[in-house]
Chains A and B, each alone.
Chain A
Amino acid sequence: MNRSEKSLHGLGAEFPTAASLLHAAKKVQALGFRRWDVYSPFPVHGMDHAMGFKRSRVSLFSLIGGFIGLGTAFALIYYTSALNYPLITQGKPYFALEPSLPIFFELTILLTAFGTVLGLLLLTLLPRFHHPVFNWDRFQRVTDDGFFIVLEATDPQFSNETSRKVLQEIGGTHISEIFQDPEINPHPARPTTEVVS
């Protein structure tokens, strides 16, 4: 195994439309690939199902965040108003549910938001400023109008020849090897004039 094969991240293929990407992804999933990914400028409807994803777990983080927020608000109000320094204001009870509700609500919302963002970052492993797919020069179009499938070399089914054939059969174009090492890839050259292909 030479150096370039060792640092091979995978094989990438480009697709012309969101629809063709979805069809291709269904076939890749049906072939039983495990370590592969689909890249698109926007979330393609139905792709999660096509790739066999279960429900995203972000909501669990949100729920935990929300409970922490509610608990914090309760502890804060109860401790400060009824335990640490009880002070009669306007003849009202030290602690009552009704006037506490706005702050319960606001802190629940605030920590739900924090939990959601934390969950998103943990589940997506972002921020991650470098990734082998960025070494592929065509890949820059993913944030414009490019649709891509990358079969990763770590997949047990992966082999350079058969996987290339798979990508051809499902309609992929511009099939290229993507390397971990940016030196091996041709230097990314951004087409400046041609945007619509």
Chain B
Amino acid sequence: MRADNSSAQAAFAHASNYLERRPLVANRRPLAWITEHVCRIVEQPAPRWWWILTIFFGAMASLTPVMLTYLVSTGVGVWGLNVPVCWAWDITNFVFWIGIGHAGTLISAILFLTRQNWRTSINRSAEAMTIFAVICAGIFPAFHVGRVWMAWFLAPVPNANAIWQNFRSPLLWDVFAVSTYFTVSLIFWYLGLIPDLASLRDRAKTRFRQMAYGLLAMGWRGSNRHWTHYEKAYLILAGISTPLVLSVHSVVSFDFATSIVPGWHTTIFPPYFVAGAIFGGFAMVLTLLIPFREIYGLHDLVTDKHIDNMCKIILLTGSLVGYAYAMEFFIAWYSGNPFEIYAFTNRAFGPYWWAYWAMITCNVAAPQLFWFKYCRQNPWVVLAIVMFPNTGMWYERFVIIVTSIHRDFLPSSWGYFSPTWVDITLFIGTIGLFVFLFLLFVRFLPMINMFEVKNITPEADPHTPDSHSEHNSAISYPTSTKVHA
């Protein structure tokens, strides 16, 4: 009889597995487990692999200042760009990095407004990624101006020429859009960090840590008289970050779309750039999260469900990007403009055909593997597949920028761009800088938003029946024996 009962229960449990939503924090971890598992990443001594990687990527990051010094001291001619290709790797890298940032803001703002609770365990690291990516992005246009010591001319302050900035120029819009994006992302990120910094402060074992995290936490004490304002401020920042993130890559695309260059002068650019940015950004989020999830055993917080969701977003946005590629060709043909038609034929079959087809393979073909559940469920397969969007989105910007301008209207001003070693080394340097900053972040700040993750656990909801007194007795937590499993 008892056996029958338990088998019936097992069958019921089996069936309800398919019916119920999977919990966002697996294995019903209690609140203290979450604090402990996130904080100890920061609190335990730095593991050896961290030192090795940080020194390696720190050395790689140092290529950035070295190459910039060489560039400034020698002249911007050490880059491979020249007439007719005056925008090349520098602007490609700029758009590439700024696009990566977009997933962070999407996760933190848009998924917050749409109440996608799964965002809570990935938003912190994605926002950090945003900030580091924008730092890498900002380097390129600043030095692309040629005389970088004149870059302050971009700011609307009086200068010796008495001429003001041209506010009708999309390049100036870019200055405002990117600097606003960086500032607001930083504010949003820091605001989200405050309660978790207070957790680190309260757990600190040394005076120095207590002071450092205490100063950063601004004396946060979890008062509900504070939470009420905090939640409102967070909601407003999410609300304004949502149009902001959509505007930033739109403004970046205006750099191209408001020109009259065939291949750039298209109205599809803003949505197409935003979809591409989200696509590339989610690929980078997964690239960074999957290894750290494995290393720190965060499977209960960043569950397979999270990875599955992100893969689906990559599939969606990758398909949107593929649609945009096709639509560009259609409009080029439909316009009847021979220069437009030539620009696109040249893109796919001209001297840069290899870049175009690399882009199609990486951005349109590879993500289609995410239709298969197997590919979304196995983190290592996911990691392998997202390397394609990571590469492909760089190619996309390269294709858009270089193939559109390397053949000007007159064949006498045709050219072929090849990068120099300075171009390549500088880009490698910014990759090093990006990973280096992320490694520092993981080491010194809580990489998972603890208070928001706690807030989506069943026990945080005061209205669910099982959050009341029977809570601790009826449901046996895996860690109810005071063990940090």
A contact residues vs B (CB 8 Å cutoff): 16-23, 25, 37-48, 51, 53, 55-59, 62, 76-77, 80-81, 84-85, 87, 89-90, 92, 96, 99-100, 102-103, 105-107, 109-110, 112-114, 116-117, 119-120, 123-124, 126-131, 133-134, 139-145, 190, 193-196
Q: Would you call A39 and B221 a contact (CB within 8 A)?
A: yes
Taking a contact as CB atoms under 8 Å apart, the answer to whether A144 and B31 are in contact is: yes
Total residue contacts A-B, CB cutoff 8 A: 237
Extra A-B contacts (18), CB below 8 Å, given A17-B462, A112-B240, A190-B205 = A23-B462, A38-B223, A40-B224, A53-B225, A58-B236, A81-B164, A81-B167, A89-B168, A102-B173, A106-B180, A113-B183, A116-B236, A120-B191, A126-B220, A129-B218, A145-B454, A195-B32, A195-B482
Q: Quick one: closest A residue to B477, CB to CB? A: A196
* Interfacial chain A residues near B251, Cβ < 8 Å: 102, 106
Tell me which residues from 426 to 470 in chain B have a Cβ below 8 Å from any Cβ of chain A.
Answer: 450-452, 454-455, 459-463, 467-469
- Smallest CB separation, A126 vs chain B (Å): 5
A contact residues around B195 at 8 Å (CB): 41-42, 143
Give the residues in chain B near A22, CB-CB below 8 Å: 462
B92 interface residue per 8 A CB criterion: no
B123 within 8 A of partner (CB) = no
Residues on the A chain within 8 Å of B232, using CB: 55-56, 58-59
Q: Does B165 contact A (CB under 8 A)?
A: yes
Q: A88–B236 Cα gap in the complex (Å)?
A: 39
B231 at the interface (CB under 8 A from A): yes
What are the 5 closest A-B residue pairs judged by CB atoms, nearest first? A145-B31, A80-B164, A127-B218, A56-B232, A43-B227
The answer, yes or no, to whether B59 is at the interface (CB within 8 Å) is no
Chain B 151-193 per-residue mask, 1 if CB under 8 angstroms from chain A, else 0? 0000010000011111111101100110010011001100100
Is A120 in contact with B459, judged by CB distance below 8 angstroms?
A: no
A-facing residues in B9-37 (Cβ within 8 Å):
30-33, 35-36
Knowing A45-B463, A119-B233, say if A17 contacts B468 (CB, 8 Å).
Answer: yes
Q: Are B240 and A109 in contact (CB under 8 A)?
A: yes
Q: Is B484 an interface residue (CB 8 A)?
A: yes
CB contact under 8 A between A43 and B455, given known A48-B224, A116-B233, A127-B218: yes
CA gap between A36 and B230 in the complex, in Å: 18
Binds A, one of B196-204, B290-298, B337-345, B416-424: B196-204
Given A113-B184, A117-B191, A130-B219, is A43 in contact with B231 using a C-beta cutoff of 8 Å?
A: yes
Give 19 A-B contacts (CB < 8 Å), ordered by A residue: A17-B462, A19-B462, A58-B229, A76-B167, A80-B164, A96-B168, A106-B180, A107-B176, A109-B180, A113-B184, A113-B237, A119-B233, A120-B230, A124-B226, A126-B219, A131-B219, A133-B221, A143-B203, A145-B30
Which A residues are CB-close (under 8 A) to B219? 126-131
**For the complex, is B254 an interface residue (Cβ under 8 Å from A)?**
yes
Tell me whether A43 and B230 are in contact in the complex, defined as CB-CB below 8 angstroms, given that A77-B167, A126-B218 are known contacts.
yes
Contact of A103 among B30, B33, B173, B454 (CB under 8 A): B173
CA distance A123 to B472 in the complex (A): 37
Indicate if the CB atoms of A106 and B176 lie closer than 8 Å: yes
User: A85 to chain B: which residues have CB within 8 Å?
Assistant: 162-164
